[in-house]
Amino acid sequence: MMSLTCRNIDLGRAKLDLVRCGCSSNGSFFAKWVCGGNARKSRTSKVMCSRRWNAYRCGALSAQTPETVFNVVAQDAETAFDAKSKTSSPILVSSLLEVVADDLLTLNKNLKSIVGAENPVLISAAEQIFGAGGKRLRPALVFLVSRATADLANLNELTPKHRRLAEVIEMIHTASLIHDDVLDDSSIRRGKETIHQLFGTRVAVLAGDFMFAQSSWYLANLENIEVIKLISQVIKDFASGEIKQASSLFDCDVTLEDYLMKSYYKTASLIAASSKCAAILTGVGSNVCEQMFEFGKNLGLSFQVVDDILDFTQSAEQLGKPAGNDLEKGNLTAPVIFALEKEPKLREIIDSEFTESGSLADAVDLIVKCGGIERAQDLAKEKAELAIESLKCLPLNEFRASLEGLVRYNLERID
């Protein structure tokens, strides 16, 4: 498991953290992480402080004395950065995203017309894709990061480029899902039939290709070379992740490092790049942009680990796809990798590729008994803590609170 070193919150210095905010992170992707801080002067004494863990609509704008404001921040510092603490009531994504609800409404109106305006088949496919629901978490993250960083850049409103970036991100994500469903031969996505089930594999592949191409065209029109490079790398990462996964099916020698790299390529890369790109378009400094990348990377890894845990703990109805789907197809995820370290019999079952009746259920039982689920939960929490640490460079406002809330929401899925 990757080692983790995070600076503890010093409540004696919490007052300074209000007006001096910044983070820096050093280390390679698979090295020890050390999270620190450097000073940054605040341009205003007003701080938007939202206690979003229990009542997400409660926000208070304070223009009081420094002592009063500092006491509020010191209180928040105890709770806001502990990814393992639990809330008194479940976190609702709809509440977290309410602060960007208008942004998401505009995005939803634009998506179908952007994707399917030129071809009747694409129009039908777009209706199926975007009508299947989904929380739109990736574009929501673009909006949240954009608005959370806006105060640092004296930006009063999102630009058209921010909105276009969010649309591009959702198109790229959706295109990857279409291709994933073809590769995995999945029949259900978000509780509805997949595109290749309805229209055939040929149309599904072409629809995904078209969406990648269309998103690339809109990406180029952002006319920001750094953003173009980052998002283009994501599309390359998708392919690298699929190749890594396909070449390691039923491979019991796959390491945790291999798993994390594949998870970065397939999931975290897009979230990391889109978070950084949002900050770039806002016009904040390079340190904040890098911290947004770190936030997105670790949130994405935490999300992937949680999804892989749920593959063992939830039903097909809850998942929106068959339970145990990944293991049955030979995709060995974090719970399996941890369990293999303790149970030789599990290797024998996986090597047989579940040809014997009941062998899949036996494998799942061994993974649970060997503590594979619990160790994967610890990994998800480690990544969540790193994600929250990276948010310390942002002003305390309702958008940062929602970003922190999304990290907590992800962990609640496995509580």
pLDDT tens-digit readout, 100-120: 999 999 998 888 777 655 667
Q: Which residue has the tokens 């509440």?
A: 95
Residue 93 lies in a domain: no
* pLDDT of residue 209 exceeding 70: yes
Question: Are 53 and 114 part of one and the same domain?
Answer: no
Residue 94 lies in a domain: no
CB 376 within 8 A of CB 118: no
Question: Are 145 and 36 part of one and the same domain?
Answer: no
Q: 80, 108, 138 — which closes off a domain?
A: 80
3-state secondary structure of 284: coil
Residue 392 lies in a domain: yes
What confidence tier does 396 reach under pLDDT thresholds 50, 70, 90? Answer: very high
* pLDDT of residue 76 exceeding 80: no
Residue 85 lies in a domain: no
CA distance 385 to 47: 23
Return the closest-CA partner of residue 395 out of 144, 176, 182.
144
CB 314 within 8 A of CB 335: no
Torsion (CA) 14, 303, 400, 159 in degrees, nearest 10: 150
Strands (E), 185-264: 188-189, 192-193
* pLDDT of residue 35 exceeding 60: no
β-strand partners of 24: 36
Question: Are 282 and 328 part of one and the same domain?
Answer: yes
* Residue scoring higher pLDDT (128 or 313): 313
Question: Are 227 and 327 part of one and the same domain?
Answer: yes
pLDDT at 199: 82
Question: Are 161 and 252 part of one and the same domain?
Answer: yes
- 19-28, 149-158, 268-277: range with lowest mean pLDDT: 19-28
The per-residue pLDDT of the chain, averaged, comes to 79
Residue 91 lies in a domain: no
Question: Are 167 and 281 part of one and the same domain?
Answer: yes
Q: Spell out the residues 6+ positions from residue 38 whose beta carbon is closer than 8 angstroms to its own.
A: 22, 23, 24, 287
Question: Are 73 and 108 part of one and the same domain?
Answer: no
pLDDT at 315: 64
pLDDT at 36: 34
3-state secondary structure of 280: helix
What confidence tier does 53 reach under pLDDT thresholds 50, 70, 90? Answer: very low
Residue 92 lies in a domain: no
Q: Spell out the residues 6+ positions from residue 120 whose beta carbon is closer than 8 angstroms to its own.
A: none
Q: Which residue has the tokens 């062998």?
A: 359
Residue 22 lies in a domain: yes
Return the closest-CA partner of residue 413 out of 90, 38, 68, 43.
90
Question: Are 293 and 166 part of one and the same domain?
Answer: yes
What confidence tier does 344 reach under pLDDT thresholds 50, 70, 90? Answer: very high
List the structure tokens of 178: 């279409």
Residue range 307-332: mean pLDDT, rounded: 80
Residue range 281-300: mean pLDDT, rounded: 98
CA distance 278 to 155: 13
* Residue scoring higher pLDDT (214 or 83): 214
Question: Are 58 and 112 part of one and the same domain?
Answer: no
What confidence tier does 134 reach under pLDDT thresholds 50, 70, 90? Answer: low
- Tell me the residue range of the domain where 33 lies: 4-80
Question: Are 334 and 266 part of one and the same domain?
Answer: yes
DSSP 24: E
Residue range 256-282: mean pLDDT, rounded: 97
CB 294 within 8 A of CB 36: no
Q: Spell out the residues 6+ positions from residue 131 whose beta carbon is closer than 8 angstroms to its own.
A: none
What percentage of residues in the chain have a pLDDT greater than 70?
73
Question: Are 116 and 179 part of one and the same domain?
Answer: yes
Task: Indicate the number of domains in the chain.
Answer: 2
3-state secondary structure of 306: helix
Question: Are 187 and 60 part of one and the same domain?
Answer: no
pLDDT at 64: 33
